[in-house]
Structure 1
Amino acid sequence: MTLAPILILLLGIAIGIPVAFAIGMAALSFFLFSGAMPPEIFVQRIVAVTHSFPLLAVPLFVMTGVVMNYAGITSRMMAFAEAMTGHWKGGLAQVNVLLSTLLGGVSGSANADAAMQSKILVPEMTRRDYDPAFSTAVTASSSIISVIIPPGIGLILFGFMGDVSIGQLFLAGIVPGVAICIAMMLAVAVQSRKLGLKPAFDAPLSWADRGRAFSGAFLALLVPVGIVLGIRLGYFTPTEAGAMAVLFAAIVGLIYGELKLAHLQPILEQTMQATAVILLVICTASAFGFYMTWEMIPATLAKAMLALTENPYLLLLLINLLLILAGMFIEGSAALILLTPILVPVITKVGIDPVHFGIVMVFNLTVAGVTPPLGTLMFTTCSITGVPIARFIRAAVPFYVVLFGMLLVLTFVPQLSLWLPNLTFN
């Protein structure tokens, strides 16, 4: 009976029930049939988690990304990215990677970034004779950078579920995010030469043209800098930073003259839709987490994993394998919410820094989003661009190599993540 809710959860996911409902059904079965406590506690656990102040950062940063799109800031950032890299072979593919890095500081969501670029950039790449499968693979793979560059929503969820400083996680994501961007751009350069892709521009733009493109994107580029500095200097918390980002994006949109009163309704609708999906998973996972804590499942798993090895590097390798398998079948945010309370106590017992582990875990579960059989980023991009999954997988193989290689680097070189937070907070 102890493991029955877990079996119900796995069965629900296997037969295609939405993850939030599968988690909720599994948790409810424990409260209904265990006899350990009244079923009303199930509702209480679902409602109680919504009272969290740090969790308010999620809808605020989601809203920031939506406002940026309507404010015309996204198009200006794309123009800046193209001005810097458009003269390279495969220039639009390089724009794709660089834009994901820039947008990571404003949207914080890999799915949002992948969907946006699939609609805007991939059709333009197709018009310029890029293979749609290659374009789709670049879009899905590069969107992973969005969750590492602050303010990634995955970092907020990990900090909330694992009781880890969100401010330190934001700082920890900057250097790895830039490193992943560089690695992806190198991979795109190699593939572009193999495929004989042409640059977007015949010659580099003048520095005057690049300066104009930079000035158009300048205010948007200040958003992630302002968020990190504001948190570090104590002007606002990560949650309040979300509110400031929304306000700043709205002001910039008004300055540009592209944000209209008529945009208010679609902005609120899109924000609520995206937020509802995330928070429903969090609420049901809270009830499921109560069941796991009551049955002492995290403690049991921790003992089992520590019995295998207490070597931190071997343990990280085992956990990475577990996360890759979990991420292949469960949406990244849901897996993060479910597994963070289980794994954080394990890694802290062997001396692994939870901030470093947060970067590794968030990146790992997002990488799984571009892998078969159920990668959400893979399905999101392919459904928009119309590329068959088999063609996507073949085109994505070089990027799989890069992403899993960077996962190993982030795992076994902790200073890549910890250098900036240690320098700043110490």
Structure 2
Amino acid sequence: MVSLFIFLLLSLPIGVAIGLSVLIGIWTGNISYAFIIQKLFTSLDNFPILAVPFFIMAGEIMMKGGMAQRLLDLSRCLVGHITGGLAQVTVLTSMFFGALSGSAPATTAAVGGIMIPSMKKEGYDLPFATSVSTAAGCVGVMIPPSVPLIIYGTTAGVSVGSLFIAGIIPGIFVGLVLMLTSYILAKRKGYTGAGQCFDIKKLPQALLKSIHALLVPVIILGGIYGGIFTPTEAGAVAVVYALFMEGLIVRSLSLKICWDILRKTALTTASIFLVVATATALGQIFLFHNVPDLMVEFLIGISENKYVVILIIIVFLLVMGTFMDALANILILTPLLLPVVKHFGMDPIHFGIVMIVTISMGFITPPVGVNLFVGCGISKISIERLSFAMLPFLIAMLIALLFLIFIPYLSLALL
């Protein structure tokens, strides 16, 4: 663990940092190299994890094909007239797009790339416009399909399909909290809506243009919930559907775009799988040294109160999220923390949703908040200015997280 923190402070790529710490753990712990190599292989020889490249590719197709713009037009029709209209449009579009991409940075890039310049043009100050898009991008990993939910499911040994269903209400709830925060801030800053009342006559046309995008989560979740296909098969269905709609119906794809999609999918999948393999091996070293049981004893020694221990875990996850990648946090910490929450009677699916929401805040906190860098890259403002502008949204997400912790029904209602 000491070597891992040192490698992270040296800004090594997360997969490389974990891999080097695994080698040090093998060397100092007198563990068989063959055992670890076997774990590196078997961590990826896993049917559910095959869903990751499928959903990444589906998200890339839909992002390159322009679905974000059509979803934006629908959101503008629905909420553009509200106070801080473009901010509301940004959050709602991110919720829609999150149901397609399953990635926080991709959601921030796709929606923010369109909305930040539009908000600046309409007179919104740049830090506020960027903070809205950056915070809203976090919803991309909460609303299914979600790559972190897939990784948690395979690590914790729980149903990915159940996690997808459980993530619907919490994702929408956090999105609504962000919309309320945007409304309050816009009211204080004097940002109005589009200046027009809601026009129900425009809604059918906006729905028609975006219907094939809106059908993606319906097909995926409906197929999983109806027992028609597994989450992995749902990923393959999403890719075929996206290629059919964007390539043959909308005709927004070219050979060059298809090559870019394949290249980006391969690079993203490779970086994720490197983290998966090395973090799984690190987890095996923890098991070898009986760390999970020691963690249970340590936290029980602090308090026997379920909620006190869970709040300690949440603070720990928030701190870890500030300097370590979300997937690495899930892979390394799930085997350590899951026995603790099980001891206190917390449902593994409920804990999974709480963990994903908590870790998603790492996307908007320095020094390694990926969404912050994406937002700064679009708006060209400093990370210090953006981090300060993010504070109201971070506080709002913490309040939403407390609701999700103390009201398990929000996560388990659809199961």
Report the TM-score range of the alignment, normalised by the length of the smaller protein. Answer: over 0.9
Q: TM-score, normalised by structure 1?
A: 0.94
**Residue deviations 1:55-112 (CA, integer Å, cap 9, x gap):** 1111111111111122322211111111111222221111110011101111011111
Q: Is the 8 A contact 2:68 2:111 kept in 1?
A: no
Cα distance between partner residues in 1 of 2:330 and 2:154: 11
Q: 2:234 aligns with which of 241, 249, 254?
A: 241
Q: Is the 8 A contact 1:28 1:42 kept in 2?
A: no
Query: Quick check: 258-267 or 207-216, which moved more?
Result: 258-267
Cα distance between partner residues in 2 of 1:210 and 1:329: 43
Cα distance between partner residues in 2 of 1:35 and 1:394: 47
How do residues 376-387 of structure 1 correspond to structure 2 at under 5 angstroms? Answer: 376-387=370-381
Percentage of matched positions with identical amino acids? 36
Q: Is the 8 A contact 2:116 2:378 kept in 1?
A: no
1:222 aligns with 2:215: yes
Match of 2:412 in 1: 418
Q: Given residue 165 of structure 1, which amino acid in structure 2 is its aligned partner?
A: S
User: By how many angstroms is 1:298 displaced?
Assistant: 1.5
Cα distance between partner residues in 1 of 2:204 and 2:160: 34
1:59 aligns with 2:53: yes
Match of 2:182 in 1: 188
User: By how many angstroms is 1:394 displaced?
Assistant: 2.4
Q: Given residue 231 of structure 1, which amino acid in structure 2 is its aligned partner?
A: I
Cα distance between partner residues in 2 of 1:419 and 1:33: 47
User: By how many angstroms is 1:218 displaced?
Assistant: 1.3
User: By how many angstroms is 1:7 displaced?
Assistant: 0.9
Match of 1:110 in 2: 104
Match of 2:276 in 1: 282
Q: 1:13 aligns with which of 8, 11, 18?
A: 8
User: By how many angstroms is 1:320 displaced?
Assistant: 0.3
Equivalent residue of 1:76, what SS?
helix
Match of 1:291 in 2: 285
Match of 1:204 in 2: 197
Cα distance between partner residues in 2 of 1:194 and 1:77: 28
Match of 2:316 in 1: 322
Q: 1:313 aligns with which of 307, 311, 316?
A: 307
Q: Is the 8 A contact 1:31 1:41 kept in 2?
A: no
Cα distance between partner residues in 2 of 1:36 and 1:110: 37
User: By how many angstroms is 1:133 displaced?
Assistant: 0.7
1:152 aligns with 2:146: yes
User: By how many angstroms is 1:379 displaced?
Assistant: 2.4
**Residue deviations 1:17-53 (CA, integer Å, cap 9, x gap):** 111111000101122343332x243333222211111
Q: Is the 8 A contact 1:71 1:252 kept in 2?
A: no
User: By how many angstroms is 1:245 displaced?
Assistant: 0.8
Q: Given residue 13 of structure 1, which amino acid in structure 2 is its aligned partner?
A: L
How do residues 24-423 of structure 1 correspond to structure 2 at under 5 angstroms? Answer: 24-37=19-32, 39-199=33-193, 201-204=194-197, 206-253=199-246, 254-421=248-415
Task: Flag structure 1 segments of 5+ consecutive residues without an equivalent.
Answer: 1-5, 422-426
**Residue deviations 1:316-351 (CA, integer Å, cap 9, x gap):** 111101101110111112111111111111111211
Cα distance between partner residues in 1 of 2:189 and 2:21: 48
Q: Given residue 35 of structure 1, which amino acid in structure 2 is its aligned partner?
A: N
Q: Given residue 242 of structure 1, which amino acid in structure 2 is its aligned partner?
A: G
Task: Flag structure 2 segments of 5+ consecutive residues without an equivalent.
Answer: none
Equivalent residue of 1:202, what SS?
coil
Q: Given residue 250 of structure 1, which amino acid in structure 2 is its aligned partner?
A: L
Q: Is the 8 A contact 2:68 2:110 kept in 1?
A: no
User: By how many angstroms is 1:208 displaced?
Assistant: 2.4
Equivalent residue of 2:413, what SS?
helix
Cα distance between partner residues in 2 of 1:216 and 1:40: 55
User: By how many angstroms is 1:307 displaced?
Assistant: 2.1
Equivalent residue of 1:257, what SS?
coil
RMSD, aligned CA? 1.5
User: By how many angstroms is 1:205 displaced?
Assistant: 5.1
The aligned length equals: 414
Q: Is the 8 A contact 2:49 2:232 kept in 1?
A: yes
Cα distance between partner residues in 2 of 1:133 and 1:85: 22
User: By how many angstroms is 1:373 displaced?
Assistant: 3.3
Q: Given residue 19 of structure 1, which amino acid in structure 2 is its aligned partner?
A: I
Query: Quick check: 400-409 or 206-215, which moved more?
Result: 206-215
Q: Is the 8 A contact 1:61 1:153 kept in 2?
A: yes
Q: Given residue 202 of structure 2, which amino acid in structure 1 is its aligned partner?
A: D
Q: Given residue 318 of structure 1, which amino acid in structure 2 is its aligned partner?
A: I
Cα distance between partner residues in 1 of 2:256 and 2:390: 40
Cα distance between partner residues in 2 of 1:320 and 1:297: 19
1:23 aligns with 2:18: yes
User: By how many angstroms is 1:190 displaced?
Assistant: 1.0
Q: Given residue 311 of structure 2, which amino acid in structure 1 is its aligned partner?
A: L
Cα distance between partner residues in 1 of 2:140 and 2:131: 15
Equivalent residue of 2:88, what SS?
helix
Q: Segments of 4+ in structure 1 off by > 6 A?
A: none
